[in-house]
Amino acid sequence: MNADRNDDAWDPLADSRSDKEMAERQPRTPQTVSPSYRLAYADDDFMCREELRPVRLQLELLKPEMILAERGIRSTVVMFGGARIPEPGTAPWAARSDVQARNLTAASRFYDEARRFARLVSTHALSTQAREFVVVTGGGPGVMEAGNRGAHDVGAPSIGLNIVLPHEQAPNAYVTPELSLNFHYFAIRKMHFLMRAKAVTIFPGGFGTMDEMFETLTLIQTGRMERIPFILFGSEFWRTMINFQALADFGTIAPEDIDLMHIVDTAEEAWAIIARHYDI
């Protein structure tokens, strides 16, 4: 046995990477260039077949889990919010009308609030060697960028969970490169958002933000997820867009379901709720 080899990692079987490299060096013949001859795990066409969807789902669950576990990250604070909210002082690129331009420009204050909140969270995360309360966003622009940027401001790592979309998208520049992850399946991405979550914050946003908000609320409401701080930023926005009290009055949610969430306007209010909940 190689004396330099870690006994815990010893595997008497042939190494998969070595076999892949060896297969690529084989003489090119009609047999070796046939798609049927490719090693299954190195065959992209095979791995993308419809019948392999269960395997791809498993791989997409496993890869990020291994990366975060190897980094020692035990818990996160989730920041959901709109990609279209601009940084203050920049043009509202997503606006399609003067009204939208005014609204989005005014909403740029949430970019600053998200950035400030991420700084508060990440400062605490650094006191745990960045193992607890690590900021995680969707990795894109807008509120997501502000969250990763706030962590970057204080020298803390942060996670970005991107997803492949029809329009061009790339991770924002503030995601920690080693924690920049990409997904095909929305369902698996949502699982990774919540598997380590110690708090979930929701900033103003559109369909995607609403989807993430209601799915998380449903998991908490039904007891499928631990009750953790669930915080909505922007009292005027949320009370204008969604009448939670009307749902309770109508009877489609219980009156106490409204208590599952907190509505705040500042980063300090949000962090105080989290700190009080965990006595930190």
pLDDT in tens, 56-102: 999 999 999 999 999 999 999 999 999 999 999 999 999 999 999 99
- As given in the structure block, the two tokens for residue 100 are 């939208």
CB atoms within 10 A of CB 275: 13
Structural domains of the chain in order of their starting residue, each with its CATH number: 55-278 (3.40.50.450)
Is residue 10 helix, strand or coil?
coil
Query: In this prediction, what percent of the chain has a pLDDT beyond 70?
Result: 95
Q: How far apart are CA 26 and CA 33, in angstroms?
A: 10
CB atoms within 10 A of CB 190: 18
Categorize the per-residue pLDDT at 13 as very low, low, confident or very high, splitting at 50, 70 and 90. Answer: low
Distance of CA 226 to the CA centre of its chain: 18
Categorize the per-residue pLDDT at 169 as very low, low, confident or very high, splitting at 50, 70 and 90. Answer: confident
Query: In this prediction, what percent of the chain has a pLDDT beyond 90?
Result: 89
pLDDT in tens, 228-272: 999 999 999 999 999 999 999 999 999 999 999 999 999 999 999
What pLDDT was estimated at residue 167? 77
* Mean pLDDT to the nearest integer, 199-208: 97
When mean pLDDT is compared across 148-157, 160-169, 250-259, the lowest value belongs to 160-169
